[in-house]
Amino acid sequence: MAKKTNNNDILLSLIIKGIEDVKGNDIDILDLREIDNSACDYFVICNGNSNTQVNAIVNSVQKTVSKEIHEKPWHVEGTENGEWVLMDFVHIVVHVFQKHIREYYDIESLWGDAKITSIENKY
């Protein structure tokens, strides 16, 4: 079990780095481990300013994770329109939104019992 947590910590830090490298905004980490029947351990949620930036964030995360720990997401969907892209790394699911789409769906409120950690924008 400790190894999984360590791997999750490494993967989380690489996902955050990939988002920050292309100036993704408003990064939140939702810890779902204490919630019954959750689909994964963590959600990472962020937003970009356009479909181009959303796809750049997705590409940056994939490249960063692949380069450092040779892992790829199990599934990616939403890149066609770049409004909401979901990247499923099995234990961690990354949601990359355009800001207005994130506000509309407000998935953070759907997981109100989750512990949320916000990462301050570096720029």
Domain parsing of the chain, residue ranges: 2-119
pLDDT at 123: 62
The predicted-structure confidence for 92-102, as pLDDT tens digits, reads as follows 999 999 999 99
* pLDDT score of 3 more than 70: no
pLDDT at 4: 52
pTM of whole model > 0.85? yes
User: Class of 2-119 per CATH?
Assistant: alpha beta
The whole-angstrom distance between residue 17's C-alpha and the CA centroid of its chain comes to 11
Among 15, 95, 29, which residue's Cα sits nearest to residue 63? 15
Distance separating alpha carbons of residues 94 and 88, to the nearest angstrom: 6
**30: Cβ–Cβ under 8 A, 6 or more apart, which residues?**
42, 43, 44, 45, 108, 111, 114, 115, 116
The whole-angstrom distance between residue 58's C-alpha and the CA centroid of its chain comes to 9
